[in-house]
Chain A
Amino acid sequence: MKSSEVTKKKITNILFSAVDEINHGLPKEARLDKSPQTALLGAEGKLDSLNFVNLILSAEEKLSAEFGTISLAEAIVADDQTNPPETVEALADLVGALLEKTNS
């Protein structure tokens, strides 16, 4: 497996563990599936704004522990980030891009 694929798998698993964490605070019917296609925001998303924040900050903490400091929250709220990631996969892609930027 290429290192980029390994990294993407690691990122996705970390995002899933963040999903596990926020699911504790959600009623059963609103809990997120752990799948790359799971919608976070938008028409099909189940998260309200605070739970999206909870997810992002939980993910950021876990990602930083694994890869070193990563400002995921800032990237999402920055002026040039007009479309926040709406699925787990889109979030994983954003994280990947931030890591590449950090490492280059």
Chain B
Amino acid sequence: MSKATLKCVLISDFNISNLSAYLENDPKLPAIHTTVAPYGQVIPTLLDEGSDVWADKPSLAVIWTRPEAVIESFAAALECRRPPVDNVLAQVEHYAEALAGIQKRVAFALVPTWVVPTYHRGLGLLDMKESGVTSLLWQMNLHLAGKLRDAPNLYVLNAQRWIEVAGASAFNPKFWYMGKAPFGIEVFKQAVSDIKAAVCAVSGQARKLIVLDLDDTLWGGIVGEVGWQGLKLGGHDPIGEAFVDFQKALKALQNRGIVLAIVSKNEESVALEAIREHPEMLLRLEDFIGWRINWGDKARNLVDLVNELNLGLQSVVFIDDNPAERARVREALPEVLVPDWPVDKMLQKQALLSLKCFDTPSISDEDLKRTRMYALEQKRSQLKVSVGSLDKWLPSLDLRVTIEEMNDGNLKRSVQLLNKTNQMNLSTRRMTEPELLAWLKRGQCKLWSFRVSDRFGDSGLTGITSIECYDNHGQIVDFVLSCRVFGRQIEKVMVHTAVDYARRAGAKHVEAKYLPTPKNKPCLEFWRNSGFEHDKENYTFLWDTSKAYPLPDFITVNKPGL
């Protein structure tokens, strides 16, 4: 996790010092430093680019308001004066416009939904009818979220969840009268937790792999002792039902692009038979991208599995009912997230769905197909084993690469790759959509996406390269490739594309500067063998554009529209 301190501006109509204090003093990374905008100056701060709060170039803004403070007609609703819904929603639209105006000033912004104190019953029985407080509030929140849906770096956070977790202590009118804070401390603590999860999500730190134990985690009982027929799973049994629901929740995470694997101490054949044969198993073998089922140390097995899958330990969440196994993995592999796990099996689904480590700023088609893509990768690996040499294997794949310039269709996935890829990443530049689009408008900057497929299937958009040309010089800025397609010379197609553009733009040289991180050594290895001249002292690689950069002859390249 990054140790850099994030600058955050807090904008509110109420005393937001408690949020500021808890954000600054929360020991969990990332560290956040806050600036609080002048009290009660929400709209002027949003509209004024020259306001002092923007001078320090914060990365994040949190705009948290009471609905009655920024939507005048809602204040009327709280007094039971029943304003027309259209008036209320029109004011919400104006507010949304003011929020949208800050997109270029920050990397991203968070807007908690509007809430009212739980003791406020509005029109009582009629409160869900038109102009009731609750009815209006829900419409306002949905309308605001709808208006901000297409703003790529504005996110609406569900503050109602914080209220529910805080329970009876969420609202205490005394906090307002004595300190102009509308919420109890627990609400601010919940907000801090979600804000930090959002920061991790936007900076590409979402976890993507869940490694699961089997006995008493995925099913009830020890399969080696009772056989698969004796396991507690499904049926008319509260615990059996809870295990099935846990598996359903795991499947739901798969639909967000999370992949599943198994590390279990068992006889492999016995465990796999249970997964194949038990009629109530929701998760089957094809739902897991890999497993290590043996009697070996789980920490070692986990490392072995993660290496096979070309993932980093920072992508992993390890779930095991056994506290000793959890402690072992936690101690041996501090990068792996090992959540505390409930002893009561009926609480497993809740524990899983409460985790915030999977949050991402977008979900792409590639995410949705991730499990299937790993299965295809296994088929490729099996072919590799049967074919033997790499020189024979690569042409046998029938590789096809489709190259596109940045467009609306590939923007989201390109930004996702830029922000999530660590290993094959030249400069590890992290950018939001507005930041990338602003960069592309500068001079001669270009970015291409690379979509890879072969005879086994489509790996999707897995690579991006960008270049900036100036003063007869081409600088490769971004060079990013998903680990799923390493080592198939897609890298050379990407370099060829950048060099070809630079030659046509009149550049005499193309340079790539490698910025080392703890994770991107594979990228350095590629560039060392790329054919570029290598300045070892400052990790710079140079190509003389009097020569074209060779394209691998076994790869079919499509460039629609280029």
- Given A58-B185, A77-B178, does the pair A50, B17 have CB atoms closer than 8 Å? yes
| CB neighbors of A among B152-196 (8 A) | 169, 172, 174-175, 178-179, 181, 184-185, 189
Task: State whether B25 touches A24 (Cβ < 8 A).
Answer: yes
Q: How many angstroms between the C-alpha atoms of A40 and B169 in the bound complex?
A: 23
Residues of A within 8 A of B178 (CB): 53, 56-57, 73, 77
Contact of A25 with B185 in the complex, beta carbons under 8 Å:
yes
Q: Is the C-beta of B22 less than 8 angstroms from some C-beta in chain A?
A: yes
Determine the chain B residues whose CB is within 8 A of the CB of A48 once the complex forms.
Answer: 17
| Centre residue among B22, B24, B178 by max chain A CB count within 10 A | B178
Question: Is A54 interfacial (CB 8 A cutoff)?
Answer: yes
Contact A50 B18 (CB under 8 A): yes
What are the interface flags for A49-86 relative to B under an 8 Å C-beta threshold, 1 for contact and 0 otherwise? Answer: 11101101110110000000000010001000000000
Count A-B contacts at CB 8 Å. 43
A61 touches B169 (CB 8 A): yes
List 6 A–B pairs whose Cβ atoms lie within 8 Å, in order of A's numbering.
A25-B21, A53-B174, A60-B174, A61-B172, A73-B178, A77-B178
Cα separation A11 to B20 with both chains bound (whole Å): 30
Question: Cα distance A50–B189 when bound, in Å?
Answer: 16
CA distance A63 to B21 in the complex (A): 25
Check if B489 is an interface residue, CB within 8 A of chain A.
no
B410 adjacent to chain A (CB < 8 Å) = no
- Asked if B364 CB lies within 8 Å of chain A CBs, one says no
**From residue A76, how far is it (CB to closest CB) to chain B in Å?**
9
Taking Cβ atoms with an 8 Å cutoff, the residues of A that contact B are 21-22, 24-27, 48-51, 53-54, 56-58, 60-61, 73, 77
The range of chain B's interface size is 10 to 19
Contacting residues, chain B, for A56 (C-beta < 8 A): 178
**Among the listed B15, B24, B169, B172, which residue makes an inter-chain contact with A50, where contact means beta carbons less than 8 Å apart?**
B15
Alpha-carbon gap, A43 to B430, bound state (A) = 47
> Closest residue to A73 on the B side, CB-wise?
B174
Instruction: Supply 19 further A-B pairs (C-beta < 8 A) apart from A24-B189, A25-B25.
Output: A24-B22, A25-B18, A25-B21, A25-B22, A25-B185, A26-B25, A50-B15, A50-B17, A50-B181, A51-B21, A54-B18, A54-B185, A57-B174, A57-B175, A57-B184, A60-B174, A61-B172, A73-B178, A77-B178
Chain A residues near B25 (CB-CB < 8 A) = 24-27
Shortest A88–chain B CB gap in Å is 19
Q: Give chain B residues whose Cβ lies under 8 Å from the Cβ of A49.
A: 179
Report how far A5 CA is from B259 CA in the complex, Å.
60
Closest to A54 in B: B185
Residue of A nearest to B19 (CB): A25
CB A30 to nearest CB in B, in angstroms, measures: 9
Q: How many angstroms from the CA of A57 to the CA of B176 in the assembled complex? A: 11
A90 to B410, CA, bound (A): 65
Cα distance A48–B179 in the bound complex, in angstroms = 11
Most buried by A among B15, B174, B184: B174
A58 to B174, CA, bound (A): 11
User: What's the least CB distance linking B160 to chain A, in Å?
Assistant: 22
A77 to B184, CA, bound (A): 19
In the assembly, what is the distance between CA of A77 and CA of B18, in Å?
A: 21
- Residues of the B chain whose Cβ atoms lie less than 8 Å from the Cβ of A77: 178
How far is A28 from B417 in the complex, measured between Cα atoms in Å?
39
Residues on A with beta carbons closer than 8 Å to the beta carbon of B185: 21-22, 25, 54, 58
Is the CB–CB distance between A27 and B24 below 8 Å?
yes
Alpha-carbon gap, A24 to B22, bound state (A): 7
- Distance in angstroms between the alpha carbons of A49 and B18 in the assembled complex: 11
Measured in the bound complex, the distance between the Cα atoms of B179 and A55 in whole Å is 12
With a cutoff of 8 Å between Cβ atoms, the chain B residues found around residue A51 in the complex are 21
For the complex formed, measure the closest distance between the CB of A41 and the CB atoms of chain B, giving whole angstroms: 14
B28, chain A: closest CB distance, angstroms: 12
**B175 surroundings in chain A (CB, below 8 A):** 53, 57
Q: Mark B18-42, 1 if CB is under 8 A from A, else 0.
A: 1001101100000000000000000
Whose C-beta in chain B lies nearest to the C-beta of A27?
B25
- A53 and B24 contacting across the interface, CB-CB below 8 Å: no
CB distance from B499 to the nearest CB of A (A): 52
**Complex Cα gap A26–B17 (Å):** 11
Of listed A22, A53, A56, A58, residue having the most chain B CB within 10 A = A53
Cβ-closest 10 pairs across A and B: A53-B179, A25-B21, A53-B178, A50-B179, A73-B174, A25-B22, A50-B17, A57-B174, A27-B25, A25-B25
With A53-B175, A58-B185, A77-B178 as contacts: A26 and B21 at CB distance below 8 Å: yes
Residue of A nearest to B178 (CB): A53
Closest to B27 in A: A24
Which of A22, A24, A26, A57 sits near B172, CB closer than 8 Å? A57
The residue on A at minimum CB distance from B168 is A61
Closest to B15 in A: A50
B5 to chain A, nearest CB (A): 14
Return chain A residues, CB-CB under 8 Å to B181.
50, 53
Q: How far is the CA of A54 from the CA of B185 in the complex (A)?
A: 8
In this complex, what residue of B is CB-closest to A25?
A: B21
Q: Once the chains are docked, how many angstroms separate the CA of A25 from the CA of B18?
A: 7
CB distance from A84 to the nearest CB of B (A): 11
Q: Chain A nearest CB: distance from B112 CB in Å?
A: 18
CB distance from B117 to the nearest CB of A (A): 15
- In the complex, chain B residues 175-221 whose Cβ is within 8 Å of any chain A Cβ: 175, 178-179, 181, 184-185, 189
Which residues in A have their C-beta under 8 angstroms from that of B184?
57
The smallest beta-carbon distance between B158 and chain A, in angstroms, is 23
Q: How far is the CB of B179 from chain A (nearest CB, A)?
A: 4
Closest to B175 in A: A57
Q: Which residues of B contact A58 (CB under 8 A)?
A: 185
Closest to A56 in B: B178
- Nearest-CB distance from A66 to chain B (Å)? 16
Shortest Cβ distance from B186 into A: residue: A21
- With a CB–CB cut-off of 8 A, which chain A residues contact B22? 24-25
